[in-house]
Chains A and B, each alone.
Chain A
């Protein structure tokens, strides 16, 4: 994993949402405002093969 170039994925439609990505292909499998809903949807999935990402809002800088 270290040093691997990230695959280009178009996140433009997923502002402020949680998304599920395929670890192998980097493809977006699912998206929702609610993380809970996604976790329910994937409750029987192999959690080694998927990864979760929160897409930040596009109109603001991130400063926690």
Chain B
């Protein structure tokens, strides 16, 4: 199946580099995270598609809602463009996008993160992703079979 989503517009302020900027269009989509063992436990969040991220990353606070114990997951230290590191823990999840469910994994952070991120493991392992900047459109095609869950 193929799904299309619009980019999401965020407010932005003009800067020296971009004096006429008043908004930024970003590839953000509504994402539902399910506890793999208890799929009725969910949280919905808008997350940024980021092919440069090795793994999807969500705030650790979501673990309470999902009924997961944050540090029961396997530890992974991550860093972004800055050298600062964040402690995260890997958990099995079910990712739901556009009503389709996929078993995968994601990291949950102990520290604060700027934005929930959909990365290589946890998103790109489920979808072939096409980002059309000119159309401001995200196209997703599943690259493996979705699963069926009973919670919906």
Contacts and interface: CB of A to CB of B under 8 A. Distances in A.
Interface size class of B (residues with CB under 8 A): 35 or more
Given A2-B4, A56-B10, A59-B15, A47 B61 contact: no
Interface residues of A, number: 28
Interface stretch (B40-48, B68-76, B126-134): B40-48
A63 B98 CA distance: 26
Interface in B1-58: 3-6, 8, 10-13, 15, 18, 24, 26, 30, 41-46, 48, 50, 52-53
Interface string B96-124: 00110000000000000011110000000
A51 B50 CA distance: 20
B6 A5 contact: yes
B149 interface: no
B143 interface: no
A24 to B, nearest CB: 12
A24 B123 CA distance: 25
A52 B44 contact: yes
Interface of A: 1-3, 5-6, 11-12, 15, 23, 35-36, 39, 43, 47-48, 50-56, 58-59, 61-64
